[in-house]
Amino acid sequence: MPTKARKTVILFLAAVTAWPMAAHAGELVTLRNGFVQRCDHHAQVEGRVRLYLSAGEDNYIEFAPEEISKVDFIADPPAPAAEQPAAKPAAKLTAADLHEMLAAAGSAHNLDVDLLASVVKAESDGNAQAVSRAGAQGLMQLMPQTAAELGVQNSFQPDENVRGGSAYLDALLTRYNNNLALALAAYNAGPAAVDKYHGIPPYRETRIYVARVIHEFNRRVLAREAQAKRAVVATGEDPARQ
């Protein structure tokens, strides 16, 4: 039976090796388009603002000064989410509950449930209380400002987070003409970065993220197809006569 989910290009990418992420303080740079970029430090060079993604001087991205709204210093990693009132409900979230949420969101936004599950796995590994070093929250790791724009009042509530994250991914797929790789890159690094480089930005983190999500999506789709074939064999039905 043909699926009603949005037809996306499934890319089989070569495996890449992850690298350790430094756990030191840095800066959060808010752009005027709303995107927030974490960096180690910044400096103004030849009229441009360079955001250095590591302690050295080799890995950086540049913006015009007028593109930057503010720069906040990160004194320490975000505090544990124990103070969040949603901690107890999140602990009770089962795989069946999560699948039901993803299925409902996928139906609402015409997205493959396995694609949403792959994003959740890459973003939080199913931890509804996850908080990144940059401050992204919940199952689909929404930045507070993005969550607010999506109407998400509490990113630590799994159903709200999934609803907001799915709506955001849907909008990105529409923006990039259903190009899954570009939509995922924008989900990770922000649309401004994708538009700036006219493709997947040359950030190692973003490239690894895109490859990781697509690899997991491919794995889930192949497993689903294999299960469907086993079901046909078990029932003795000939799909050619369907």
Domains and CATH numbers, the chain: 86-241 (1.10.530.10)
Both tokens of 10, joined, read 């499934």
| Contact of 226 with 234, CB cutoff 8 Å | no
pLDDT of residue 240: 53
Alpha-helical segments (H) within the chain: 87-91, 95-109, 113-124, 144-149, 158-175, 180-189, 191-197, 204-235
Active-site residues: which are they? 123
The model's pTM = 0.63
Query: Once rounded to an integer, what is the mean pLDDT over residues 18-37?
Result: 65
Residue 239's pLDDT band (cuts 50, 70, 90): low
Q: Is 131 helix (H, G, I), strand (E, B) or coil?
A: strand
pLDDT tens column, 3-13? 455 544 333 33
- Mean pLDDT confidence for 119-139: 95
Least confident of 38-47, 61-70, 83-92, 102-111: 83-92
- For residue 16, what is the DSSP state? -
Beta carbons within 8 Å of 236's beta carbon, 6+ residues apart: none
